[in-house]
Amino acid sequence: MVVGDASLDIDTLVIGAGPGGYTAAIRAAQLGQSVLVVDKEYVGGVCLNVGCIPSKALISAAHQYEAVSHGEALGIKAENVSVDFSKVQEFKGNVVKQLTGGVGALFKGNKVQYFNGEVMFINENEARVFNDQEAPRYRFKNCIIATGSRPIELKAFPFGGRILSSTGALALSEIPKSLVVIGGGYIGIELGQMYSKFGSKVTVIEGTDSILAGFDAEMSKLVTKKLKSQGVEIVTGAQAKSAEQTDNEVTVTYSVNGEDKQVTADYLLVTVGRRPNTDGELGLDLINLKMNERGYIEVDDQCRTSIPHIYAIGDIVAGPALAHKASYEAKVAAEAIAGQPSKVDYKCIPLVVFSDPECASVGYNEKEAKDKGHNVKVGRFPFSINGRALSLNAKEGFVKIVSDADNGLVLGAQIAGIEASNLIAEMGLAIEMGATVEDIALTIHGHPTLGEIAMEAAEVILGHPIHTIVR
């Protein structure tokens, strides 16, 4: 290893090359800063390599398989449909390769330096970056920390062998005949349902009273109903206690209403949340960066830490661990460094679950809006009487708009159904621009489209929907 004695100068050091880090690096470079971004694993971080993108590639493949296998309602019959899972994994890998390669090209095009290695702070203005070949020392004017998070590993269920984290579940070389999932949050439901569509017998063990606990109760019920129709067993109010594994299977012991039960499967997937990557060898303790008791870095509304020229974004600060939140904060931090008045405003962060049906939410739900003191009026319109949804044979779901009855402002929306992940953007824009339900109702939506459901939900609030009776 070659160690440099003299410090090299850089305007902005970015630690982490995930959606937060690479976005911060590119935006900072666009604003005229010389930028070095460092990541010890890979360009694109967890999201592009072992999270958001590969999971959606596998989910898409599972949807396609299900559609081909069960097209009878549309008059489509297929025999001997099979899955070559190695080809599915190859497809996933090609998607990842294309996107991570694209980020590398963006670095080059924006003159962002990239270093594959680790970082150790020397003091508030200097850091050593190192790998097996070299260890240069950099003096920086500003720093953006974007080191992300990792799956929480429970003492009773250590990762390894047939006990998987989400990363391991995405890398299986075979479709398991059976799978137990501990945790009914969005990761557990997405991956569990994906393998169920491929033919796995799936059991979900959830500690609370319902899956997708942070979402609208009607959404949770809708997804639960679909999962059960697909043969997924959902055990709520359960406490997972232990696991014993052999070379071929794993047996999970859990408790429900004080009674111990067991389930045996090929694999166990543990998805009980994520932990911020602030406890490694980064040297945050050497610079006395202020963190809370859970390891999250404390920041202000410009993502500035207790050390004014050091910023933190993404999963290592408070809030949901979402790639789009990290990317949003990345732009704020880079612009703040450039002296711009950018500040975070979290009222429009969409929450999306790529379940079947998809679920998406933005802004307030009905209860949250009432708790904030609003005089609430809600409009709900089902997918089941929308022409496009029916033509897609996807009639499950609804659009729910939460508004202020006094001024008509859109306060939030919840969408469950096909393409909810895309449809939610209109609702986010409505909230961001201060639109009213009348604005949505007066917007001409193409016919026949799923977007019309939002228009009709707005018309329900106004009292004059065309395709349903106001009672």
First to last CA, the chain: 75
Marked catalytic residue, from 374, 445, 447, 464: 447
Q: State yes or no: 18 annotated in a binding site.
A: no
Residue in this structure with the two tokens 């704020």, named with its chain if needed: 332
Q: State yes or no: 207 annotated in a binding site.
A: no
Q: State yes or no: 149 annotated in a binding site.
A: yes
Task: Please indicate whether residue 447 is annotated as part of the active site.
Answer: yes
Do residues 116 and 280 touch, judged by C-beta distance below 8 A? no
Q: State yes or no: 56 annotated in a binding site.
A: yes
The tokens describing 451, both together, are: 């977007």
Amino acid sitting at position 233: E
Q: State yes or no: 387 annotated in a binding site.
A: no
Q: State yes or no: 166 annotated in a binding site.
A: no
Q: State yes or no: 55 annotated in a binding site.
A: no
Q: State yes or no: 183 annotated in a binding site.
A: yes
C-alpha 412/C-alpha 362 separation (Å) is 6
Q: State yes or no: 93 annotated in a binding site.
A: no
C-alpha 415/C-alpha 352 separation (Å) is 9
Q: State yes or no: 147 annotated in a binding site.
A: yes
Q: State yes or no: 315 annotated in a binding site.
A: yes
Q: State yes or no: 189 annotated in a binding site.
A: yes
Q: State yes or no: 184 annotated in a binding site.
A: yes
Annotated binding site for FAD: 56, 147-149, 315
Annotated binding site for NAD(+): 183-190, 206, 273
Q: Which residues are annotated as a binding site?
A: 56, 147-149, 183-190, 206, 273, 315
- Catalytic residue ranges: 447
